[in-house]
Amino acid sequence: MINYTKNQITFMQFIFLIHGVQVGVGLLTLPRELAEKAGTDGWIALIIGWLFSTLASLIIIQVMKKYPNGTIIDLITHFFGKWVGKIAAFIFGLYFAFIGSIVFVREGLFIQFWVLPQTNLFLLLFLLSIPSYLIVRNNITILGRYAELVFFMTTWMLFFYFTPLKEAHWLHLLPLIKEGWKPILTAAKTTIFSFLGFEIAFFLYPFLQKKQKASIGIVIANTLTLAVFLIVTIVAFIFYSPDEITQYKEPTITLLKIVEFKFLERLEIVFLSLYIFVISTTVLPLFFSTVFSAGQFFGKQDHSKYVVWLLLLNLVYVLLLPQSFAGNRQLQKGMESISLILVYAFPLCLWVYLWLYSCVKRRVFK
Binding site for other proteins (CB under 8 A): 113-114, 116, 118-119, 123-124, 127, 130, 167, 169, 171-172, 174-175, 178, 240-241, 243-244, 247, 254, 257-258, 260, 265-266, 268
In the complex, least distance from residue 174 CB atom to other proteins, rounded to whole angstroms? 4
What whole-number distance in Å separates Cα of residue 227 and Cα of residue 54?
14
Contacts of 59 (CB under 8 A, 6+ apart): 347, 348, 351
What whole-number distance in Å separates Cα of residue 97 and Cα of residue 84?
20
Contacts of 42 (CB under 8 A, 6+ apart): 31, 34, 35, 184, 187, 233, 237
Q: How far is the CA of 322 from the CAs of 19, 111, 134, 331, 333, in angstroms?
A: 31, 16, 27, 13, 18
In the complex, least distance from residue 255 CB atom to other proteins, rounded to whole angstroms? 10
Query: Which residue, 175 or 299, is less far from other proteins as judged by CB?
Result: 175
Q: Is 208 helix (H, G, I), strand (E, B) or coil?
A: strand
In the complex, least distance from residue 296 CB atom to other proteins, rounded to whole angstroms? 29
Closest CA to 293 of 90, 68, 149, 53: 90
Query: Which residue, 260 or 345, is less far from other proteins as judged by CB?
Result: 260
In the complex, least distance from residue 175 CB atom to other proteins, rounded to whole angstroms? 5
Closest CA to 218 of 68, 36, 13: 13
In the complex, least distance from residue 256 CB atom to other proteins, rounded to whole angstroms? 10
φ/ψ of 208, rounded to 5, equals -65, 135
In the complex, least distance from residue 261 CB atom to other proteins, rounded to whole angstroms? 11
Query: Which residue, 169 or 333, is less far from other proteins as judged by CB?
Result: 169
For residue 345, the 8-state DSSP code is I
With contact defined as beta carbons under 8 Å apart, do 328 and 109 qualify?
Answer: yes
Query: Which residue, 120 or 358, is less far from other proteins as judged by CB?
Result: 120
Query: Which residue, 98 or 114, is less far from other proteins as judged by CB?
Result: 114
Q: Which residues pair with 353 in a beta bridge?
A: none
Chain length of the chain? 366
159: buried, middle or exposed (CB in 10 Å: 19+, 13-18, 0-12)?
A: exposed
Long-range CB contact pairs, 291-299, < 8 A, 24+? 291/93, 291/136, 292/71, 292/203, 293/73, 293/89, 293/90, 293/92, 293/93, 293/96, 294/89, 294/93, 296/2, 296/71, 296/73, 296/74, 296/85, 296/89, 297/86, 297/89, 297/90, 297/93
Query: Which residue, 131 or 334, is less far from other proteins as judged by CB?
Result: 131
In the complex, least distance from residue 29 CB atom to other proteins, rounded to whole angstroms? 15
In the complex, least distance from residue 109 CB atom to other proteins, rounded to whole angstroms? 13
The most distant pair of C-alpha atoms in the chain lies apart, rounded to whole Å, by: 77
Query: Which residue, 219 or 315, is less far from other proteins as judged by CB?
Result: 315
Query: Which residue, 97 or 184, is less far from other proteins as judged by CB?
Result: 184
In the complex, least distance from residue 123 CB atom to other proteins, rounded to whole angstroms? 6
In the complex, least distance from residue 241 CB atom to other proteins, rounded to whole angstroms? 4
With contact defined as beta carbons under 8 Å apart, do 229 and 47 qualify?
Answer: no
